[in-house]
Structure 1
Amino acid sequence: MIQTFFDNFSPQNNALIWLIGAFALAFVIAHQTFPSILYVTMRKRLMDVPDSRSMHIDKTPTLGGIGIFFSIVVVMTTTGAMLNTKLLLLVMGGLTILFFLGLKDDLTVLSARNKFIGQLFAAVLLIVFTDTRIIGFSKIFGVEELPYWISIFFTLFVYILIINAYNLIDGVDGLAGSVGLVISAVFLVLFYNSGNLSLATISVALIGALLAFLRLNMSARRKIFMGDTGSMIVGFLLAFFTISFISQSQTNVDSEYFRASPALALAMLFYPLMDTFRIFFIRIFVLKQSPFKADKNHIHHRYIQMGYTHLQTTFIIVITNLIVVLIAFNMLHLNLNMQIGLLLLYGTILFFAPIIFKRKFHTFKKKRELSLNGRRSSAVK
């Protein structure tokens, strides 16, 4: 009976049911896995000890990436036979490489060089064997198609950029998980609408895993961090989604995103990319130090310093990034160069608006207090 069901069941004809099932499976597995990870990390004292850069004050388990990896791989394994098996196996290969690199970094220390080599190898695996790459600039600055080898190296650069940009925003409770969840949700809709069920399945599996993770990541008592294991895995998948979306749009002249895919990708990843370029600029040109030296100059750190809570900071950044995405979808009719220019302008204003607002509010509050103190002094006299 079960064999008859599978012989007659088509994921493509039941896409919505299929995706709901993949989501439920990922969420349940992650939800059941995290308590075990918490137990082991606390018994073995595999905790992150706060230092001068930390935004937390208590020792916290950092192996949440194990649960994220496990749930995604189980979904891909169980659904692979009915989808694009080659693609799913290659993605799992890349994820596995980064999983062990991240795990080593969380448990001991992994050099930046070895992490970089591992990221390159995982990216090359997908680029070469699936030929999923950015084939051109869609006439950005007049550039259309790139020569093959330049296309390969540029796609590699995008992979490394997105993986590490995502890793850098993992500094406030719920931020990395929420940003990854929202970006994955947008990609899920895009892949579902284009009929790419394999990519939609990976997207929905990541959503399920991140939802289960966020439940504990934002908990006051049983907190867990995704660590480098999780940030590299999620960053790698977001990079893969981005490049896959741009590639499938650029190779389909009938796609409504044929020209606009780079702008939409920029909008979805706006916060991680903007924060990374900003922090590198500050470290290199202002502080005159290595761009890879960790500090507390990220935008989310500035929000905290201005008086926003962790939850408020996460909420503001996620909502702002969603607004940037909506702006991008409403500019599809414009020239691509114009879209990117306006996104950079609007996005920068939106992300710095909360800081400006807090400054104005503090100034107003201070003036009001001085005015009230002056009136009291006059009344006493």
Structure 2
Amino acid sequence: MLSDLFQNIYFIVFFSLVFSLLVSLRIYPVIIYLAHKKKLMDEPVHRSGHVEKTPTLGGVGMFITFSLAIIIMGIFIDLDRVDLVKLLSVLGGTIILLFLGIKDDLIELSPNKKFSGQIFSSALVVLGTDVRIESFYGIFGVGDLHYAVSVIFTMLVFIFIINAFNLIDGINGLAASIAIIVNTSFGVYFAMNGEYLHVLVSFSLIGVLIGFLRYNLSRVRKMFMGDSGSMFLGFLLAYQAIGFLSVNQLPQTEFSVSNAPIMVLAILAYPILDALRVCILRMAKGHSPFKADRNHIHHKLLDSGFSHVRATLIIALCNIFIIQMAFVLSDLYLTVQLYIISVVLPLVCLFPFLLVQRNGKIHIEVPKF
């Protein structure tokens, strides 16, 4: 009876989300207590969105909760050998990035050392499980990719998404909220197609993130996810995005998406755009693309008078709009969709630059040049 229950995809969705949420609400207070006791705090600097020392090891709580959830659920679900190998590879990759992130949170690693860890963790999953981007779906006339090209391109996608999420973790609630949107989008698709492992990853992570928001948005017992959390998130979301593309190409997939690459770009719209935007601006000024600054879209919203919560809400709504737009465009040729998204995405995500908050009211103002 119990084994039958754990074969029900909707029960897995519910149980993995609730279990990870409840465990996270017990784990995070312990992390906050230990961070205060050991003085493992984030010091505010000129580009920070906070003014007080804050515990910064939320990623440790995320990893512990997520690992417990997927290991326990994996036992009950009775995953096949292929999925177990994938699960162990994913956990191995997250462990590498977790320790890398913790060290960066405490002593600040060089970009080269972080990239080395990201390459190794990405290679572990791509080469160990053969989860990779195998086709461009005919965009620009490119179809199936050569194995070596596929592996290299997939690893680059992993590294880009990991760093994109690291870059958007600049205000309270933003990275976690965007990650919830991403996981919900992929999770619903995986549930419709009975992909147990991906469903488990998506909804366990949603529970972890909801629990994290409880403390990230708190005024009293606040905590940050730190680099350990943002890299952990970016890695798992990259895995889910690539899994989405892989599952969509399987002949047995019941509910496939005709514009899968465009949908991935839409779901990850804000992290992709903000990462590209700040890197281009930094290089245009002759700076390293890894040189931190306050030139992110979320920083501009804070400077316009918005609170962290309102800025997060505005950006999240823009991201959801782009996802809906990808559905509307799904019947067009993929290359045409890409052109349209490439034009509309910057316009929608740069819309926050026109918003100004004064006296509690939101105004739209055209910048003066």
Q: Same fold by TM-score, threshold 0.5 exceeded?
A: yes
- Answering whether residue 321 of structure 2 is matched by residue 327 of structure 1, we say no
Please name the residue that 1:80 is paired with: 74
Contact 1:138–1:250 (8 Å) recurs in 2 = no
SS in 1 for 2:278: helix
Aligned to 1:242: 241
Instruction: Give the whole-Å Cα distance in 1 for the aligned partners of 2:148 and 2:138.
Output: 18
Q: Does 1:197 align with 2:187?
A: no
Q: In structure 2, what is the equivalent of residue 94 of structure 1? A: 93
Q: Please name the residue that 1:210 is paired with.
A: 209
**Alignment correspondent of 1:153:** 152
> Identity over aligned residues, as a percent?
39
Q: 246-255 or 303-312: which moved more? A: 246-255
> CA separation of 1:252/1:345 partners in 2, compared to 1, >3 Å: closer, same or farther?
farther
C-alpha spacing 1:85/1:128, structure 2 compared with 1 (3 Å): same
Paired position in structure 2 for 1:279? 278
Which residue of structure 1 lines up, in the alignment, with residue 4 of structure 2? 9
The one-letter amino acid paired with 1:173 is N
Q: Are residue 27 (structure 1) and residue 25 (structure 2) matched?
A: no
Pick closer, same or farther for the CA change 1:363–1:98 going to 2, 3 Å: closer
Residue 183 of structure 1 is matched in structure 2 by 182
8 A contact 1:23–1:208 mirrored in 2: yes
TM-aligned CA deviation for residue 252 of structure 1? 3.5
1:253 Cα deviation from its structure 2 partner: 8.4
Following superposition, the deviation at residue 255 of structure 1 comes to 6.1
1:166 touches 1:176 (CA, 8 Å); kept in 2?
yes
SS in 2 for 1:146: coil
1:67 shift after superposition: 0.9
Distance in 2 between the 1:10 and 1:35 partners? 32
Query: Which one-letter code corresponds to 1:171 in the other structure?
Result: G
Residues 223-238 of structure 1 aligned to structure 2 (within 5 Å): 223-238=222-237
1:315 is matched with which residue: 313, 316, 322?
313
How far apart are residue 344 of structure 1 and its match?
2.2
Q: Does 1:67 align with 2:52?
A: no
Q: CA offsets per residue over residues 129-150 of structure 1, 9 Å max, x none? A: 2111101211111111111100
**2:356 aligned counterpart, secondary structure:** helix
How is 1:35-74 mapped onto 2 (pairs within 5 angstroms)?
35-74=29-68
Question: Gaps spanning 5+ residues in structure 1: where?
Answer: 365-381
Cα RMSD of the aligned pairs, angstroms, is 1.9
Aligned-residue offset at 1:227: 0.3
Structure 1 counterpart SS, 2:136: strand
Q: Post-superposition shift, 1:175?
A: 0.3
- What is the TM-score normalised by the length of structure 2? 0.93
Contact 1:138/1:259 (8 A) holds in 2: no
Structure with the bigger percentage of helix: 1
**Structure 2 match to 1:377:** none
Displacement of 1:362 in angstroms is 7.5
Equivalent residue number for residue 124 of structure 1: 123
* 1:358 Cα offset (Å): 3.2
User: Contact conserved, 2:43 with 2:52, CA < 8 A, in 1?
Assistant: yes
The CA deviation string for residues 49-89 of structure 1, in whole angstroms up to 9 with x for no partner, is 11111111011110111111011100111122312322211
Distance 2:278 2:257 in 1: 32
Unaligned 5+ segments in structure 2 are none
Residue in 2 that maps onto 1:370:
none
Distance in 2, Cα, partners of 1:357 & 1:77: 45
Tell which deviates more after alignment, 204-213 or 132-141: 132-141
Question: Which residues in structure 2 correspond to 1:240-279 (within 5 Å)?
Answer: 240-252=239-251, 257=256, 259-279=258-278
Are residues 264 and 59 of structure 1, via their aligned partners in 2, closer, same or farther at CA, if it must alter by over 3 Å? same
* Greater Rg by CA: 1
